Structure 1
Amino acid sequence: PGPRALGEMVVAALVPMAQAPPRGLWRTKGGVRNVALSSWLGRPVDPPVTDGADPVGRSLVKRYLAAYGPAATADLRAWSGLAGLPGAVAAVRGELVRFRDERGRELLDLPDAPRPDPDTPAPVRFLPAFDNAILGYHDRGRIIDAAHRGLSVAGERVVLVDGRVAATWTVSEDAVTVGPLGTLSRADRAAVTDEGRKLALFLSDGDSDRVRVTASPR
């Protein structure tokens, strides 16, 4: 990379930074703009605290579990990219409930969090690239098969059927195209098509509800 890009990479790795607008613009792209976190906050950045006395760390653990629990500490670490949270987890452990998964790993959750019955139907959902429903865990096998795990970091948009990744999707000017990763039942195919129509209407501002579902791989 050129000296400017390399310098930005080094600074972003060593100095607390925030990405400022125009990133994340609707239907267009904007260049990366980094600003010092202290400038973004309008105050000096607090020094890191790695033990259980850190209220931010304890809050982070609870906020993560509120969205993704039950989850293992490895899942929290993979999602946050932070290795210094054992003290925060230990500090709030007494406020959490614990489970064991099929592999014997400890899973933590908030006591009043919803935990639906395993047989509860999960509706079809079209997810954007790099969605946290997949990236929020170290063990992504709970939502995506090992054979397709690479899709989660390849920028592919995926479709959930009964809570698991079952297809990818793309969009052109006139249609949403769904590519099944395996065989879809007639009912699942109909549900995917119905949800795809809603997405097509949204993305086209109501001009098109066209959906193409390609043949399942043999």
Structure 2
Amino acid sequence: MTVLDARALGRAALARQFLLARAEVPVLDAVAHLAGMQAQEPQEPYAGLWSRLAAFDPTELSALLTDRRVVRTHLMRRTVHLVTADDALAWRSRHDAMLVQRMLGVYRRTLGDTDLAALAADGAAALRDEPRTMPEVGRLLADRWPGLAPREIGDVLTSLVPLVQVPPRGVWGATAPARCVLAETWLGRPVDPPATGGDPVGEALVLRYLAVFGPAATADLRAWSGLAGLPGAVDAVRERLVASRDGRGRELLDLPDAPRPDPDTPAPVRFLPAFDNLVLGYDDRSRFVDDAHRGLSVSGARFVLVDGRVAATWSVEEGTVTVTPLRAFSRADRTDVGEEGRALAHFLSGGESRRVTIAASPR
């Protein structure tokens, strides 16, 4: 069986993630292709799409949000993701059990013997017609659920009830609280019911995941989705997949015709937003990030890829992009990072700045 090293695996994922070459595809198609984008920080997907798409216009994504063709909702890993409306409706029921279990991992003792179905019904009624912040919903329901704090009620309901966060939350350049409403109300269609036979949604998720993250192990699929119950879906589609192994000996699965570039294919400098799924979408993240820096991937650090690997973090303040190397930069690295950083500063500032600062490399 073919053994693929970290460089080969990284190049495959970079190609599928539109990070070897910016893609010329519509924004809606890009969000669908990426199987959603983690988006608890509302503005971060804009930087993620800028790094992936040629001539990306952020107002196009804003329009998709206001036109209700993409939504912000809790899905994979019980985190807020930006996904297409179609995917939100198709995937929500398959994620319900995971969302509840992860919520109970936080609130099991607090909830005790709370009737979750009744709490969900009350929450759905409060969020059916008017978008509200979740703390506001918690205060509305506090008298009916006196054992729970309003903040707890609101957070629990994001797992119990299919909700979307409505604009202006997530609109380019906007600052707004997270106001939620029932997904069915916002999209004019109900969430797809759970499958009664087999696991068609799970099978589709396996294929969608591999198309953008493969080759990957089932543990990687689980780390991305948060879903434990996908072995049956993997078995159902296994005959349509090809297998290899990584340097640890793990079995990797993939779509037979998916891109797998030569490991020596040049990888340009790319700036990733906070919580980008390119890094978070794996159990074994060694194809992109050294073990010493793995913890940064869950801390909200924004990464700079150099030669296809995490080599620095970045931040932006008052139009200036500041890059902090995690390893030594060559002169060519600094030139390439500076050029891409200036382009990012220009984008983020609406054309008012091209300022970049690159800190000294660590010794």
For 1:90 and 1:33, locate their aligned partners in 2 and report how far apart those are by CA, in whole Å. 40
Name the SS of the counterpart of 2:286 in structure 1.
Answer: helix
The residue that corresponds to 2:85 in the other structure is none
2:277 maps to 1:132 = yes
Shift of 1:211: 0.9
1:190 is matched with which residue: 332, 335, 360?
A: 335
Conservation of the 8 A alpha-carbon contact between 1:179 and 1:216: yes
Runs of 5+ unmatched residues, structure 2: 1-134, 136-147
Shift of 1:46: 1.3
The residue that corresponds to 1:21 in the other structure is 166
The residue that corresponds to 2:47 in the other structure is none
* Counterpart residue type for residue 254 of structure 2: D
Runs of 5+ unmatched residues, structure 1: none
Q: Which moved more, 1:75-84 or 1:23-32?
A: 23-32
Shift of 1:85: 0.8
For 1:98 and 1:16, locate their aligned partners in 2 and report how far apart those are by CA, in whole Å. 38
The residue that corresponds to 2:212 in the other structure is 67
User: Per-residue CA shift, 1:145-169, capped at 9, x if unaligned?
Assistant: 1111111111111100011100011
Name the SS of the counterpart of 1:61 in structure 2.
Answer: helix
Shift of 1:171: 0.9
The residue that corresponds to 2:158 in the other structure is 12
For 2:308 and 2:296, locate their aligned partners in 1 and report how far apart those are by CA, in whole Å. 16
1:30 is matched with which residue: 176, 184, 188?
A: 176
TM-score (norm 1): 0.91
For 1:192 and 1:44, locate their aligned partners in 2 and report how far apart those are by CA, in whole Å. 44
* Counterpart residue type for residue 47 of structure 1: P
Shift of 1:48: 5.7
Conservation of the 8 A alpha-carbon contact between 2:164 and 2:186: no
Structure with greater proportional helix content: 2
Conservation of the 8 A alpha-carbon contact between 1:38 and 1:45: no
| 1:44/1:118 CA distance change after superposition, 3 Å | closer
Name the SS of the counterpart of 1:140 in structure 2.
Answer: coil
Over aligned residues, Cα RMSD in angstroms? 1.9
The residue that corresponds to 1:43 in the other structure is 190
For 2:229 and 2:204, locate their aligned partners in 1 and report how far apart those are by CA, in whole Å. 14
Q: Which moved more, 1:57-66 or 1:35-44?
A: 35-44
The residue that corresponds to 2:243 in the other structure is 98
The residue that corresponds to 1:159 in the other structure is 304
User: Per-residue CA shift, 1:23-43, capped at 9, x if unaligned?
Assistant: 323223332234444545633
The aligned length equals: 215
Shift of 1:86: 0.8
Name the SS of the counterpart of 1:193 in structure 2.
Answer: helix
TM-score (norm 2): 0.56
For 1:174 and 1:9, locate their aligned partners in 2 and report how far apart those are by CA, in whole Å. 34
The residue that corresponds to 2:317 in the other structure is 172
Name the SS of the counterpart of 1:171 in structure 2.
Answer: strand
User: Per-residue CA shift, 1:160-195, capped at 9, x if unaligned?
Assistant: 001110001111213111110111011111110111
Name the SS of the counterpart of 1:198 in structure 2.
Answer: helix
For 1:156 and 1:28, locate their aligned partners in 2 and report how far apart those are by CA, in whole Å. 21
For 1:9 and 1:131, locate their aligned partners in 2 and report how far apart those are by CA, in whole Å. 23
User: Per-residue CA shift, 1:8-36, capped at 9, x if unaligned?
Assistant: 222223x2423321332322333223444
Shift of 1:58: 0.9
For 1:200 and 1:18, locate their aligned partners in 2 and report how far apart those are by CA, in whole Å. 34
Higher relative contact order (CA 8 A, sep 6+): 2
